[in-house]
A and B are shown apart, each in its own frame.
Chain A
Amino acid sequence: AQSVTQLDSQVPVFEEAPVELRCNYSSSVSVYLFWYVQYPNQGLQLLLKYLSGSTLVKGINGFEAEFNKSQTSFHLRKPSVHISDTAEYFCAVNQGGKLIFGQGTELSVKP
């Protein structure tokens, strides 16, 4: 069975600084990987996805992620964060139709 590990439960960062949220998945023949964001008291919104092809994936709100098969990682990055990026971020892998989520990373952007 697939599993997803988000290596940091909380990431505090100052506004306009770069950020990386780390995600590792258990290896499989083929993987479909996703990053979702959850703002306080809201549902999950898709940031980006990797299905195949280019290993660098660009998403909404200036986020991007890099699929690294040898490292079984799918880290999320943003070169300059804003206060409005404060939220919970979830990495997920699609296994047979169900999303297997990581534990979540709370990104806290401070002024």
Chain B
Amino acid sequence: DTAVSQTPKYLVTQMGNDKSIKCEQNLGHDTMYWYKQDSKKFLKIMFSYNNKELIINETVPNRFSPKSPDKAHLNLHINSLELGDSAVYFCASSQVRASGIYAYEQYFGPGTRLTVT
């Protein structure tokens, strides 16, 4: 069974288009994340949701809008795609203790490679 899944795995699109990436986790976790990995393999967090509530929102252009319909799903919608958006986008999930101590590891999906031409 896949723990964290993402669709699509590859996404090739033109500048100016709008696209979405979907993420689902079957681990029963309450927190989900989006990370961006650039061409130099540097990983940086974009967003985090806990029980459908946005809790982390890094400095990301407002063309990026995450949506969490329930705690098992976190989608990423990108408007007006730009060349610089080309990257690998990873979804992750973790279980945060009630005390809010973020000690637990995050489980990552396989990634979505977005290429903007």
Contacts and interface: CB of A to CB of B under 8 A. Distances in A.
A97 B43 CA distance: 15
Nearest to A94: B102
B106 interface: yes
Interface residues of B, number: 26
B64 interface: no
Contacts of B107: 46
B31 interface: yes
A98 B108 contact: no
B48 interface: yes
B41 A46 contact: no
Interface residue range, chain A: 20 to 34
A2 B15 CA distance: 35
A73 to B, nearest CB: 20
Do most interface residues of chain A lie in helix, strand or loop, or is the interface mixed?
strand
B83 interface: no
Nearest to A52: B103
Given A32-B103, A97-B56, A43 B43 contact: no
Chain B CB count within 10 A is highest, among A51, A90, A101, for A101
B105 A98 contact: no
Contacts of B110: 42-43
A111 interface: no
Contacts of B31: 97
Interface of B: 4, 31, 33, 35, 40-45, 48, 55-56, 58, 90, 92, 96, 102-103, 105-111
